[in-house]
Each structure stands twice: as structure tokens, then as C-alpha cells.
Structure 1
């Protein structure tokens, strides 16, 4: 994992790094199955822009994790460029190596760029989308900013279409606004189901499709991230679960063969 700080030569450094990826030979492949059988919801279009909004400011970590999962799926083994707004890092925390590993993300998969303002973040996104070696781009931003205009989103969508990579714009502390995105989502965190032996469960998300370009159905899905398979999946149904007794309510006394309650 390589960090590039947003100094005066940030874009030049990014260009150099992307050229290195180009020379290593990135091969483009179809990234998401078209039969709707993967990930538990209709497959997302590739080489387009998708908007991801945190349902609440406290869901900033969730929207970033969800965006990383989608980027991993779309990249299909090719590098991912993750540009992180400095304000997002201050409010939601900076990327954590063990946490990325738990998502199934290897350091060689990720090029991490830190951007101090929204303008730099958008410029990084456009530059990354031009590289034929990049599989997906995730831009993470905090708060409202005039830079996130309809014109800016059109530029990003055009760059994604031209370069072939898929772009995910994750925003927290901001209200959904018109854009050229193919889809618009609201992402929240959910309580995960513990694994066997009381081990921590898989990351769980509530994903609400707010809008799909050209119309179409919307809905809400509860999804878990499967690190081994690198995909989202519906939570497995509980098996053998027992309904707990209501709080502050004594258990009923056992009955006799005649149906009468036996005294304790």
C-alpha cells in the first residue's frame, strides 16, 4: 500500500505511479456477472459512476467499507485507487492495515492517496480513471462542498466511461444531490451475527438503492461481506434459535398431566 500526500506535486507523483502500473500490464475483464445471481442484489454496471451516501454521519466507516467491497468486486484483481479526503480521515479515522486485511484487501491491491480538499480529491479521481491498469476508484469525502457539482460528476462519469474503470464516490455528512451517477445508495451499518464459538461476525450493511439511472426498482438489502469469497451475501438464516423469555417475567410453572399448574 502506497501513500501519496496532497502536496504541490501530488498529481505528478500519482501520474508516475499510474504509469508504473500501466507498464506492468493491466488486463481488462468483465467484472460483474450479468445474470443477477451475485452479491444478493442486481449487479452494478461497470465503467460508470456510483454514488454512495452514509445514512448518518456515524455511518462514515460503513460507507467506506461498503465502497471498498464494491471496488474489490469491480476491480477483479487489478489495482484499486482509494483517494481519501483529509476531513474524512479526521472524522471517521484513517485506514487501518489489519482492518483492510480483514476485508480481504492485500497491500499490493491498493494505491492510497490523501487529498486535503474536494478539488484535489476530484482531480485525483479523474487522473486515476485515465489509467488502463486501474480496475476501480474509490473517492471518500466528508461534508458538503461546492466542488461536488453536477458538472464535476459528469466529468467523472465521462472519465470512467473512457478509461474503463468503475468509480465509487462515498460521501458522509452530506445530503444526496443530483449527479450523473448510474446509481445512488444510502449505506448504514448493521449488527452482525456472531460466528461459531462467539467469534466476531462478518461486516454487515444496510444498503438502500435510492435511484437508478433510467428508472427501475429500488429497495433495501441487508448484506454481509464475505472476505474469503470477496463478495456481499445475504445473512444466513438463524438455525435452532430459541425465543428468549420476556424480561422481568418469571418462567411459567410446569403443568401436570391434567393441565393444572404445579406449585413451585
Structure 2
């Protein structure tokens, strides 16, 4: 391995992503929402992108966001029907449960178009991903790793990025990261859940995310884009994000030193309740 030549190849990929693409396929894709569009955020196809969760409780939201990005990247005349390959470390199953076919369908992915690969640990997941990303017939690659293992370093992500650029397979690294670590990724996102609008009949709303763009390199023209922070919701029918408007119902805090009136009334009826105080 020649480190100098490797770094030069990486810089070329991030600057222009000059690897061959399928005819008629745009080299970049957007989220579809007005906020990121106005911020000039367009993601490169055939590159490695990173989606992080700061805490374990944020991982379901980060997972949904990464899958939505993969569906956006796949959305074109040639890649729509191509399968997604998901490399998942066993620890993710242990902590969050197995992938749910109805849940995937609700996000817009036909479960029959998903190939799931189980990996024992992070190193095995990265090896499997390194082989899979070479396959140009894939519509996308998700790599779900538990935490930030030692195997997940600058060299490993550089290798994945170079192979993604060569094959044209847009790839997404999904994991929990309490602290930032050096990785050779085109974009890095930190995602947490956001409150969604309830549907008619107080049914749960559509998936909503608080997405923070921590890093963006290799955009159109190779220009870096400043980070941004948006609240977005996912429309699975349109396969697009849209801006999430602030909730119309204001949350009025209980004045400091005074208990909530409804709670106090319940307490007078002899029921045990938790009194909420603001301040």
C-alpha cells in the first residue's frame, strides 16, 4: 500500500467524484426539503456518508434517517429497483431487536428488495461491507456497527470511500458515537428524534428527525458546505424529506413554586400523582 497515492486518490474522489456513473444518473442527490436545499446541501452518489447517534436512545431515529437517505440516493431511472444491502452487527440486534418488515415498508422500502448480512463484530462488518461495496448492481449499502470499534478508523473508511467511488454504490455508515473520530466520509450527520404532528384521530405522525450536518465535503464542484441544523419529516410516498414546522400548540410551563392545577385536583381526590414545577 502506498499511503501517498492512497491519499491523492481520496482527495480526487472528494473533490470531483470522477468515477464513471451510469448514463443519465445525477452524481448528487438532495434531501428534498427546502431548508437543506437553501443551505446548498447535496450529497454525492458513489460516496461514503456517516450517520451518528449521540446516545443509544437516538439510534432508532438515526437508523430511519440513514435508510431514508439510502432510498433518496437510489431514486433514479436505473437504480429504483436495485436491492439495498444492509450489513448489521449482531450487537445491534441484541440492543434494538431485529429489523421489522412492516416498519421498513412504512418507510418506503420493499422488504423483498433488502439483503441482510449479519456480522459478529465491527471488524467482520467492515470486511463484509468492503466486499459488498464492490458490487455495482446494488442500489445502496448500509453498514450498521455497534459503537466505534478500533477497526473503524481513517484507513478503513478511506478504503470504503474509494471502493464506493469506483463502483458507484452510495454507502452509509450508521453507528453510535459519543465522541467524533477521524473518518474519511463525504458527509457526517448527527441525528436525534423530533416531535411529529399527530395525524387525524391522534394517530402517530410521520417519522420526524432532528438532523445536524457536522461535515460536508465533496459536494458539487468539490466545495465544502457549512454545517446546518434542521427538523425534518419523511414522506415515504414521495420518497422525500420536508421541513417540519414548529408545533402549533404552545407548551405553557407551570409557574415556579406553583403545582399544576390538574395534578392538584387529582391529588385532592386521593390519587397519587407527580407534581410538575417549572424553573
TM-score range, shorter chain: 0.7 to 0.9
- Pick the aligned partner of 1:148 from 132, 149, 152: 152
- Alpha-carbon distance in 1 for matches of 2:158, 2:125: 15
Contact kept? 1:71, 1:137, Cα under 8 Å: yes
TM-fit CA distance, 1:187: 0.8
**RMSD of aligned Cα (Å):** 2.3
Q: 1:165 maps to which residue?
A: 169
Name the larger-Rg structure. Answer: 1
Q: Structure 1 runs of 4+ off > 3 angstroms? A: 31-34, 241-250
| Secondary structure of the corresponding residue to residue 44 of structure 2 | coil
Q: What secondary structure sits across from 1:82 in the alignment?
A: strand
Higher helix share: 2
Q: Decide whether the 8 Å contact of 1:142 with 1:174 is kept in 2.
A: no
- In structure 1, list runs of 5 or more residues that go unmatched: 1-26, 251-264
Say if 1:116 and 1:29 are closer, same or farther in 2 by CA, change over 3 A. Answer: farther
1:234 partnered with 2:243: yes
The answer to whether the 8 A contact 1:75-1:134 is kept is no
Residues 32 and 158 (structure 1), Cα distance of their counterparts in 2 relative to 1, 3 Å cut:
closer
Paired residues in the alignment total: 221
Unaligned runs of 5+ in 2: 1-21, 218-222, 255-259, 263-279
Aligned match of 2:265: none
Aligned CA distance change for structure 1 residues 31 and 110 (closer, same or farther; 3 Å): farther
Q: Choose which of 221, 231, 239 in structure 1 pairs with 2:230.
A: 221
Per the normalisation by structure 1, the TM-score is 0.76
Write out aligned runs for 1:1-264 (5 A).
30=25, 38-40=32-34, 41=36, 42-76=41-75, 77=80, 78-213=82-217, 215-236=224-245, 241=248, 243=250, 247=254, 248=260
User: What whole-Å deviation, never above 9, does each CA across 1:13-68 have from its counterpart, x for those lacking one?
Assistant: xxxxxxxxxxxxxx77525766x682342221111111111021211111111111
Listed one character per residue, the Cα deviations across residues 72-127 of structure 1 (whole Å, up to 9, x for unaligned) are: 11122121111111111211222011111111111222111111111221122122
